[in-house]
Amino acid sequence: MGNITFIEHDGTEHIVDIAEGKTLMQIAMDNLVPGIDADCGGSCACGTCHVIVDSAWVSATGIASDEELMMLDMTPEKTDTSRLSCQIKASQSLDGVVVRLPEFQM
């Protein structure tokens, strides 16, 4: 079983097991990782599950859809590697992935 590291804005790390087939948002919520609100429940409609993917993991996590990019454009803390965690599906290929949480969700 692999793991995912979520790093809060203050540097606190949460290393959690990958749950194959779930999204990073669902995994964060299941493991009580603070800093992800996920107000829309994973429908790519709220932008409150913003994460910043570590640059080494950008290609493994895939490319944001146009809909996702539109949501991210409304996020003040958007970076070049920003994603919505509800749009990233976990699999063993993401073993070791590191994502950072913004200071605030919108």
Residues at the contact surface with ligand FES, assessed by CB under 6 A: 25, 38-40, 42-49, 71, 84, 86
Minimum CB–partner distance for residue 33 and ligand FES (Å): 14
Minimum CB–partner distance for residue 43 and ligand FES (Å): 6
Give the CB-nearest residue to ligand FES.
86
If the CB atoms of residues 11 and 69 are measured against ligand FES, the closer one turns out to be 69
| Full strand arrangement of the beta sheet holding 50-53 | 13-17, 3-7, 97-100, 50-53, 82-84
Q: Which residue reads 């540097």 in tokens? A: 11
Pick from 65, 67, 57: which is nearest to 91 by CA? 57
Distance CA 61, CA 46 (A): 20
If the CB atoms of residues 5 and 75 are measured against ligand FES, the closer one turns out to be 75
